Amino acid sequence: MKKSVAEKFDLHTAAFDWERAMKSRTFAEFDDAVTAPLHGFDGMQDYYDRCSAIHFLHRIERPSLIINSLDDPFMSAAVVPDASMLSDDVTLEVAENGGHVGFVSGGTPWRPEFYLPGRIIEFLEPFAAKPGL
């Protein structure tokens, strides 16, 4: 991400603290130094709080599947919603492992098996013949 920023800005054209951006070592530090100020947020926490989908999950009116893993480097276990935050149309599945949308399981290094595409299809199949969903 720092490379991408360096291709678009430099020390003199950056609308953020260039030194802080280049010293960032985590996504949170980068978001606090670059993403938030570039998009009008008052820091990383304001950006995360205001852009989170958690504020809308209780209003979902179509069958929806949320899949997360507890070892996701972007979405820590602390942000996984509990049942009281979800509408009845939301199915939440939380795995111990899977990383960030990876969910690679088994196979060999040259023929990995991917869990996510099959699970999405399995979830959607019952609704395929139901117009309006």
pLDDT at 127: 87
Residue 24 lies in a domain: yes
Answer yes or no: are the C-beta atoms of 97 and 69 closer than 8 Å: yes
97 and 68 share a domain?
Answer: yes
> Does residue 106 share a domain with residue 69?
yes
Task: Please check whether residue 132 lies inside any domain of the structure.
Answer: no
> Smallest Cα–Cα separation from 92: which of 45, 60, 129, 48?
60
Cα–Cα distance between 121 and 20 in angstroms, integer? 43
43 and 63 part of one domain: no
Domain match, 75 and 118 both: yes
Task: Let me know whether 72 and 109 are in one domain.
Answer: yes
Residue 76 sits in the same domain as residue 119 = yes
When pLDDT is cut at 50, 70 and 90, the band that residue 22 belongs to is very high
Say if residue 44 is in the same domain as residue 28.
Answer: yes
Number of domains in the chain: 2
Task: Determine the structural domain holding residue 76 and report its residue range.
Answer: 58-127
- 């070592």: which residue's tokens? 25
**Does 133 map to a domain?**
no
Asked if residue 63 and residue 39 are part of one domain, the reply reads: no
pTM above 0.75, yes or no: no
Spatial distance between the Cα atoms of 63 and 89, rounded to a whole number of angstroms: 5
The answer to the question of residue 112 being in a domain is yes
Average pLDDT, stretch 7-23?
A: 88
pLDDT in tens, 66-123: 998 888 887 878 889 999 999 999 999 998 888 777 777 777 778 888 888 899 999 9
Asked if residue 92 and residue 120 are part of one domain, the reply reads: yes
Q: Are residues 19 and 76 in the same domain?
A: no
Could you say which of 10, 36, 51 is where a domain stops? 51
